[in-house]
């Protein structure tokens, strides 16, 4: 199981680096917002892997808190984007 | 038995997560990226949480994993709508290969048609189209 | 009635989150549930007793596997488009019209559309939904509505209206 979890963590890390590439490249602010949102969801996956690896239950508390807080953060960023009207 | 099932479920979830992130890099404009990334990463992470619950380390962990999956299924589409709407309102254009844009025609008629589908230029960072608004 | 259901729901969620709760946990949970119900009950749906109707619960249970089937299909569709060397997409924003009326049903419809093959809700205006479609087929509002919305509308009307 440990080998499997190691591979799983590596795959998630690769996915996270793809998100980081999109955050760095842009080219627009919404692109970066999407990548940040996705990165937040990937961290929840990481928390699951860590919980299985260490056998500690509290990682799941982190996962729940992270999922909800990353949602609020994304909504705030999206509202900020929407505030800049184009034709009003 | 539980361990094998959990490994298969988590493996499927990881594959979907990776596809979503590849889509985030490969697709041409922000709306397509939101689509691919939201769908794949939501379901992928839900599969990972389901795998954690199936592995069955403790009852508390299983219940928390399932609750977290429900939260993600409810919140991530809402975040996707918010980003897509925010992107359109902040003036990000559709990809040049897009075939139809009824939203722009009916909701933003003052925006000239040729500005709706131009590809976003590289290096154009914050608020494309802010100067014309 | 509404406050009572709100208290029960919040307390249930609390107990699930602190699984195998002790006496102190239950006490704090009751206080928090009362506080949340007093302060925030106005943002809860207006007639939550609808959720207790067994027919609605039954159709909701039918809806979950139906939705998950489309969700998995959507993921395979995205995986095909992303991994294909040419990235075969034909995107565009189309308009569809729904016959659903309650806010809750429309919310669920929009969320379901976002997680099903190739579609993403961009905006809702009354009964019109603007949808970004990764591979536009067909022409006109009626045909698009038939392709995107109809598959969920029947079940959602039975659940929420």
Q: Where are the domains of chain A?
A: 2-82
- Name residues 13-42 of chain B within 8 A of C (Cβ): 16, 19-20, 22-23, 26-29, 31-32, 34-36, 38-40, 42
Task: Please indicate, yes or no, whether residues C57 and C39 belong to a single structural domain of this protein.
Answer: no
Q: Is the pLDDT of residue B131 over 80?
A: no
ipTM surpassing 0.95, yes or no? Answer: no
Give the span between the Cα atoms of C77 and C75, in whole angstroms.
5
Phi-psi category of B37—alpha, beta or left, where left has phi over 0 and alpha has psi -120 to 50? alpha
Q: Is the pLDDT of residue B122 over 50?
A: no
User: Where does the pLDDT of residue B124 fall: very low under 50, low under 70, confident under 90, or very high at 90 and above?
Assistant: very low
In 3D space, the residue among B72, B61, B14, B37 whose CA is nearest the CA of residue A67 turns out to be B72
Of the candidates A29, A64, A75, the beta carbon closest to that of B71 is on: A64
Task: Please indicate, yes or no, whether residues C128 and C65 belong to a single structural domain of this protein.
Answer: yes
Which of B1, B17, B132 to substitute to test the interface with A, most A CBs within 10 Å? B17
* Distances C91 to A17, B60, C80 between C-alpha atoms, Å: 27, 44, 16
Do residue B82 and residue A11 have CB atoms under 8 angstroms apart?
no
Please name the residues in contact with A29: beta carbons below 8 A apart, sequence gap of 6 or more: A81, B90, B125, B126, B127
Of the candidates B17, B37, B61, the beta carbon closest to that of A60 is on: B61
Q: What is the pLDDT of residues A34-60, one digit of tens each?
A: 999 999 999 999 999 999 999 888 899
Residues of B in contact with A18 (CB under 8 A): 21-22, 24-25
In a domain, B129, yes or no: no
Whole-number pLDDT of residue A64 = 92
Q: Is the pLDDT of residue B129 over 60?
A: no
Contact of B83 with B37, CB cutoff 8 Å: no
Task: Please indicate, yes or no, whether residues C30 and C72 belong to a single structural domain of this protein.
Answer: no
* Residue B103 domain boundaries: 2-115
Residues of B in contact with A86 (CB under 8 A): 89-91, 108, 111, 129-130, 132-133
What is the residue-averaged pLDDT of chain B?
80
Residues of B in contact with C81 (CB under 8 A): 23, 36
Residues of C in contact with B99 (CB under 8 A): 90-92, 136
Of the candidates B41, B44, B60, the beta carbon closest to that of A57 is on: B60
Lowest mean pLDDT among A52-66, C60-74, C129-143: C129-143
Task: Please indicate, yes or no, whether residues C31 and C108 belong to a single structural domain of this protein.
Answer: no
- Report the domain count for chain B: 1
- Give the mean model confidence (pLDDT) for residues C122-143: 84
Do residue C114 and residue B80 have CB atoms under 8 angstroms apart?
yes
- Chain C nearest-CA distance from B10, in A, is 15
Which of A6, A18, A36, A56 to substitute to test the interface with B, most B CBs within 10 Å? A18
Whole-number pLDDT of residue C90 = 84
Please name the residues in contact with A5: beta carbons below 8 A apart, sequence gap of 6 or more: A49, A52, A53
Buried b (16+ CB within 10 A) or exposed e, B40-50: bbbbbbbbbbb
Task: Please indicate, yes or no, whether residues C39 and C60 belong to a single structural domain of this protein.
Answer: no
In a domain, B131, yes or no: no
CA-nearest residue to B71 within chain C is C13
Task: Please indicate, yes or no, whether residues C18 and C73 belong to a single structural domain of this protein.
Answer: no
Question: Taken in order B13, A65, B83, C119, is the CA torsion positive or negative?
Answer: positive
In a domain, B17, yes or no: yes
Q: Does B45 touch chain A (CB under 8 A)?
A: yes
Do residue B94 and residue C74 have CB atoms under 8 angstroms apart?
no
Please name the residues in contact with C112: beta carbons below 8 A apart, sequence gap of 6 or more: C67, C70, C152, C156
In 3D space, the residue among B122, B92, B111 whose CA is nearest the CA of residue B32 turns out to be B92
Element containing residue C73 per DSSP (H, E)? helix C54-83
Q: Is the pLDDT of residue C34 over 60?
A: yes
* Residue C135 domain boundaries: 53-160
- Chain B nearest-CA distance from A37, in A, is 8
- Give the mean model confidence (pLDDT) for residues C28-55: 81
Contact of B83 with A30, CB cutoff 8 Å: yes
CA-nearest residue to C67 within chain B is B73
Do residue B23 and residue C82 have CB atoms under 8 angstroms apart?
yes
- Give the mean model confidence (pLDDT) for residues C116-135: 85
Do residue A38 and residue B21 have CB atoms under 8 angstroms apart?
yes
């Amino acid at each position: 199981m440990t080998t499997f979890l190691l591979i799983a963590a590596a795959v998630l890390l690769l996915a996270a680096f793809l998100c980081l590439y999109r955050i760095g490249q842009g080219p627009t602010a919404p692109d970066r917002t999407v990548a940040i949102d996705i990165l937040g969801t990937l961290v929840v996956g990481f928390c699951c892997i860590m919980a299985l690896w260490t056998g500690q239950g509290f990682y799941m508390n982190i996962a729940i808190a992270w999922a909800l807080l990353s949602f609020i953060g994304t909504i705030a960023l999206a509202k900020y984007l929407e505030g800049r009207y184009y034709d009003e | 038995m539980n361990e094998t099932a959990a490994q298969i479920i988590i493996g499927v979830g990881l594959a979907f997560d990776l596809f979503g992130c590849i889509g985030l890099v490969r697709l041409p404009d922000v709306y397509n990226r939101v689509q691919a990334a939201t769908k794949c990463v939501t379901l992928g992470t839900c599969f990972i949480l389901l795998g954690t619950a199936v592995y069955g380390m403790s009852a508390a962990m299983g219940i928390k994993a399932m609750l977290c999956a429900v939260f993600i299924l409810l919140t991530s589409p809402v975040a996707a709508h918010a980003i897509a709407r925010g992107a359109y309102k902040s003036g990000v254009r559709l990809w040049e290969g897009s075939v139809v844009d009824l939203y722009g025609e009916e909701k933003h008629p003052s925006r000239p048609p040729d500005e709706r589908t131009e590809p976003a230029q590289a290096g154009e960072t914050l608020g494309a189209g802010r100067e014309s608004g | 009635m509404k406050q009572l259901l709100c208290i029960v729901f919040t307390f249930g969620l609390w107990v699930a989150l602190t699984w195998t709760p002790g006496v102190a946990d239950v006490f704090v949970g009751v206080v928090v549930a009362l506080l949340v119900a007093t302060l925030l009950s106005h943002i809860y749906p207006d007639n939550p007793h609808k959720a207790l109707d067994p027919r609605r619960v039954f159709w909701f249970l039918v809806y979950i596997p139906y939705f998950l089937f489309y969700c998995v299909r959507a993921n395979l569709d995205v995986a095909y488009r992303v991994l294909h060397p040419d990235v075969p997409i034909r995107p565009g924003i189309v308009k569809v019209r729904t016959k659903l009326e309650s806010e809750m049903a429309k919310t669920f419809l929009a969320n379901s559309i976002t997680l099903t093959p190739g579609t993403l809700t961009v905006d809702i205006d009354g009964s019109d939904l603007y949808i970004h479609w990764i591979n536009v087929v067909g022409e006109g509002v009626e045909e698009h509505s038939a392709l995107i919305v109809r598959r969920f509308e029947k079940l959602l009307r039975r659940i929420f209206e």
